[in-house]
Amino acid sequence: MFAVAALLVSACSSGGSSSAATADAAGTVALGALPRSTPSTLAPYYEQNLSWRDCANAPGFQCATMKAPLDYAKPADGDIKLAVSRRKASGPGERLGSLLVNPGGPGGSAVGYLHGYAGIAYPSQIRARYDMVAVDPRGAAGSEPVECLTGRQMDTFTQTDLTPDDQGEKAQVVAAFKKFAEGCGQRYPKLLRHISTVEAARDMDVLRAVLGDKKLTYVGASYGTFLGATYAGLFPDRVGRLVLDGALDPTLSARKLNEEQTAGFETAFRSFAKDCVSQRDCPLGRTTAQVGENLKALFERLDSQPLVTGDTDGRQLGESLATTGVIAAMYDEGSWPRLRQALTDAIREEDGTGLLAFADGYYERDASGTYSNLMYANAAVNCLDLPAAFATSDQAEAAVPDFEKASPVFGRALAWASLNCAYWPVAPTGKPQRIEAKGAAPIVVVGTTRDPATPYHWARALASQLSSARLLTYEGDGHTAYGRGSECIDATINAYLLRGTPPVEGKRCSQP
């Protein structure tokens, strides 16, 4: 999910290629491992005892608060409190330890994911043998979350026109991103400097020790693969069984990540278009070319003529929210029938309610107009991890042709959305780099060939960097692969988690 107004890395791409990833990788250095011995200044964190209690709104789960240093370089400067939860192994069978899960984002609630999915829907044999565990990354959800705008201000922000037609509209885009950034900076001048992926990975090592595990066992999806790979790079000797599903390529710049992800959404959209024209109720035409042309025409019409919706706050469906709604549906092919209906309502009934619902789900906005902190944390982490894709609006505008080449339908909006970190109040601390994790136990990297958000060649790139990686390929649609209906994928990953057996080299699974 990388540009704040559009993308969550939470994707095989026809634009971009593995050669592009290699070119970026050639100029990067590898992430260095931390010393094997834990500094004495961190001992109080590594040796803390968690006070577990029953979670108030999640029967069967326990919750706790873990302390970590706000600044690992200066532990004496203060703590950050992190929300942790677990569901203990149910048996039968010998307990294998803790299995940490992360759904991506950045900014997604790992605890919410544990309570709502992983802790109850992961394969029963996995839940029987592992304590299922999650920690909300710093700055997200229950772990001192950043919140940059009010609900009303966020409503305005999400409706910002990201296809500006004149200087006035370009100025509005800049003003929107500046207001977002200023809201974050004014509220969290210190915290914003310490919610990077490297720091979140170090938090996971503290949790590993506190739980009593010698090695980390972990399943990370989407951005969670970057978090897991970063952990492996920092602590290769503490890697247990790591599954990185829907992988990112850590060697890419923010500009390249956004552009290649844009191509990933185009690939997914073409797959949707092919499916749409095979259905009787496709509202966008009878050929795949017509689907793209007509959707783009709909977006252009909504730019000046937004549609009414059933929203109690009176929000209308303009181009920006409609684009976000369609993008949201690309993450899961199971959403395509509902997307066809929403598009039918928009085109034939002039009702934008269905597409607005998709956009609200993407932004995690509830019916009361309250947003989760997902989008704030997403920007805060991304803008700290990498230098901004563009420094000025002129640079974003100049990149539009490249983004439109990557995606004729979404490219222009996503080029402008990539301006989000230009005005960030905190300088980035990260940079593109290879992650090799030399000496680590086998790591399973999973890539889906038509993944919209993390293009397949990113998985191949990460697998080629990690010294012990095995690439597992899912030939199919949707974002990530584990637990999405492929018996082949699930059986392969389950065997690895339960017995430590990685997939054979070149293992591929096809969509059922």
Whether 351 is catalytic is no
Segment holding 100, helix H or strand E: strand 97-102
Judged by DSSP in three states, 471 sits in strand
pLDDT at 27: 57
In a domain, 341, yes or no: no
Whether 222 is catalytic is yes
In a domain, 105, yes or no: yes
* Nearest residue to 31 via CA among 201, 164, 230: 230
| Number of compact structural domains in the chain | 1
DSSP structure class, residue 33: P
In a domain, 13, yes or no: no
DSSP bridge pairs for 65 = 83
pLDDT at 211: 98
Domain residue limits at 236: 18-136+193-253+439-510
DSSP bridge pairs for 80 = 68
Mean pLDDT over the full length of the chain: 94
pLDDT in tens, 370-400: 999 999 999 999 999 999 999 999 999 999 9
CA separation (Å) from 452 to 248, 250, 411, 414?
Answer: 12, 18, 14, 14
pLDDT band at 5 (very low <50, low <70, confident <90, very high): very low
DSSP bridge pairs for 242 = 218, 443
Report how far residue 183's alpha carbon sits from residue 471's, in angstroms, rounded to the nearest whole number.
41
pLDDT band at 212 (very low <50, low <70, confident <90, very high): very high
In a domain, 430, yes or no: no
Give the percent of the chain with pLDDT over 70: 95
Which position has the higher pLDDT, 6 or 37?
37
pLDDT in tens, 406-446: 999 999 999 999 999 999 999 999 999 999 999 999 999 99
Burial of 469: CB neighbours in 10 Å, binned 0-12, 13-18, 19+:
buried
CATH number for the domain spanning 49: value is 3.40.50.1820
Spatial contact of 412 and 163, defined as CB atoms under 8 Å apart: yes
pLDDT in tens, 288-347: 999 999 999 999 999 999 999 999 999 999 999 999 999 999 999 999 999 999 999 999
Question: What is the CB neighbour count within 10 angstroms for residue 88?
Answer: 16
Of 24, 161, 249, 451, the active-site residue reads 451
Report the Cα–Cα distance between both ends of the chain, in Å, rounded.
26
In a domain, 197, yes or no: yes
Q: 122: number of CA atoms within 13 Å, CB side?
A: 27
pLDDT at 24: 46
* Nearest residue to 342 via CA among 329, 331, 327, 353: 353
In a domain, 180, yes or no: no
Spatial contact of 245 and 482, defined as CB atoms under 8 Å apart: yes
Of 115, 194, 457, 479, the active-site residue reads 479
In a domain, 258, yes or no: no
Spatial contact of 310 and 360, defined as CB atoms under 8 Å apart: no
pLDDT band at 199 (very low <50, low <70, confident <90, very high): very high
Of 98, 222, 271, 486, the active-site residue reads 222
Give the percent of the chain with pLDDT over 90: 94
Query: What sign has the CA pseudo-torsion 205, 209, 211, 214?
Result: positive
18 has pLDDT over 80: no
Whether 205 is catalytic is no
pLDDT at 22: 37
Report how far residue 77's alpha carbon sits from residue 241's, in angstroms, rounded to the nearest whole number.
34
In a domain, 320, yes or no: no
pLDDT in tens, 161-188: 999 999 999 999 999 999 999 999 999 9
Spatial contact of 255 and 8, defined as CB atoms under 8 Å apart: no
Report how far residue 455's alpha carbon sits from residue 464's, in angstroms, rounded to the nearest whole number.
15
pLDDT in tens, 397-411: 999 999 999 999 999
Residue 297 corresponds to which tokens in the numbers above? 């025409």
> What integer is the mean pLDDT of 504-512?
90
Strands 216-221 and 130-135 come out as: unpaired
pLDDT at 512: 74
2 has pLDDT over 50: no
DSSP structure class, residue 437: -
DSSP bridge pairs for 508 = 473
17 has pLDDT over 90: no
Concatenated DSSP letters of 292-346: HHHHHHHHHHHHHSPBB---TT---B-HHHHHHHHHHHHT-GGGHHHHHHHHHHH
- pTM value is 0.94
Strands 239-245 and 443-450 come out as: parallel
DSSP structure class, residue 371: B
Q: What are phi and psi of 275, to 5 degrees?
A: -70, -40
pLDDT in tens, 118-163: 999 999 999 999 999 999 999 999 999 999 999 999 999 999 999 9
